[in-house]
Structure 1
Amino acid sequence: MPKSTFTRVRKKIDILRHEAGHLVIAKLLGFETGEIRFSQKDAGAGVTLVPDLRDIEAIKQYVARRVVVLYAGVAAEALRGVTIDQQQALKDFSSEVGMNDFAKIRELLLLLAGLESEDDDRQKLLDKYVEQYANRTGELVQKHALTIHEVAKELAARIPAAGGHLSQSQVDALSSVKKIEVGSEL
């Protein structure tokens, strides 16, 4: 099969690790998380987005944290043990796996660059942010890789019995989720 027509088959555990990545990193960055849903066609991790945006600095901090959470799904899915397979993560971001997350990241980073720059240096600042937040995500995902794997395994064990959906209270009751120190990576 030619390389250009190769499509990676995503396994259930890969998809749940993607969602676990969003969930774990969101909690570590102080976001309230919600439900997890999984089906053959779709998966998602709820993150409550009720920011306190009282000034420009609060907006910048919120956007930075949110971008890291969005990057975390693909980074977690590309985990091989405790190391991110960088080539796989890059492929996933340019495929349907990360397309939705990447569109949100791009929009948020354009907003942030617009707040901080003139038109002539916006692209340079945007490039800086992409690198900065991707690196931050990589550090956090690798640091908390074992927790991400543990959450994904627990989700895989519980989601089928729950009809493909776990409520916020069911997610919060998972033993692996209870261990996460909310806001500890702020």
Structure 2
Amino acid sequence: MKSMPAALRDYALQIANHEMGHYVVARALGFETGDVTLKVTMVLTHHGGASITLTRSISSIEAMKEHLERRMMVLFAGAMAQTLPAKHSPEKRVDKSKAAAILKGEFGAEQDYAKIRELRHLLRNIAYPDTDPASSERITAELKEITDRVWSRTQQIVEALADTITGLAGLLVERMVIVEQWGRPADTYEVVLTGEMLEGLRPVQAIPALSVWA
């Protein structure tokens, strides 16, 4: 959007990358998806969301483990995608240290991280049912193994689908409009891309179906 100040546009693109990271990886991993929304203000605050349906049939412990891993990947993907370089950059690599900082609350993704922490404990409880609850060192090691494996797989997926993520994020920002506010200067830009609109886009239709353990 031409009238958006450059600094605000750069900020909006980072947050758009975050939301499209959730959206694209969710679709790649088989989740039903809906609307993607984004709102940013002149003072660099934001609110965004990618609607993902978590309802699914789970008929075995293996299916439960796979579902938990997929959900963790979707949550990790937002922070990773937020660190992707600009669309014109030839190298599409995740900045791992920055992604970790985003998750731990420096940039507003602490809710994603809180969910990840709970999900990894549930996954560990299922994957290692015989661990003594008093064995804190072993439990810490098991949690680390799960987290490192899911993090690594998510990074592979985000980097493989980086062009799709950044392309859709750019489209999201291009469609932002300034919101009229009665009696005071308008300082908020927002956009909603509905699930139906997104599914009509060729890049969305081209998102590959991926396996957790591929």
Query: How much is the aligned-residue C-alpha RMSD, in angstroms?
Result: 2.1
2:65 match: 60
Question: Where does the alignment leave 5 or more consecutive residues of structure 1 unmatched?
Answer: 1-9
Q: Give the deviation of 1:185 after TM superposition.
A: 4.1
More off after superposition, 54-63 vs 156-165: 156-165
- How far apart, in 2, do the equivalents of 1:122 and 1:58 lie? 22
Q: Does 1:31 align with 2:36?
A: no
Q: Give the deviation of 1:14 after TM superposition.
A: 0.4
Deviation digits for residues 74-107 of structure 1 (CA, Å, limit 9, x no counterpart): 0000112401112211221122432011111111
Equivalent positions of 1:39-118 (< 5 A) are 39-40=39-40, 41-80=46-85, 81=89, 82-94=92-104, 95-117=106-128, 118=131
Would you say the 8 A contact 2:101–2:107 is kept in 1? no
Q: How many residues align?
A: 177
The share of aligned pairs that are identical, in percent, is: 31
Deviation digits for residues 111-164 of structure 1 (CA, Å, limit 9, x no counterpart): 111122222232221111110011111111111111111111111123439952
1:148 match: 165
RCO comparison, higher one (Cα < 8 Å, 6+): 1
Q: Give the deviation of 1:30 after TM superposition.
A: 0.9
4+ residue runs of structure 1 moved beyond 6 angstroms? none
- How far apart, in 2, do the equivalents of 1:51 and 1:127 lie? 27
Equivalent positions of 1:102-181 (< 5 A) are 102-117=113-128, 118=131, 119=133, 120=135, 121-160=138-177, 164-181=191-208
Q: Does 1:184 align with 2:184?
A: no
Give the structure-1-normalised TM-score: 0.87
- How far apart, in 2, do the equivalents of 1:150 and 1:185 lie? 23
Of structures 1 and 2, the larger Rg is shown by: 2
Please state which structure has a larger fraction of its residues in helix. Answer: 1
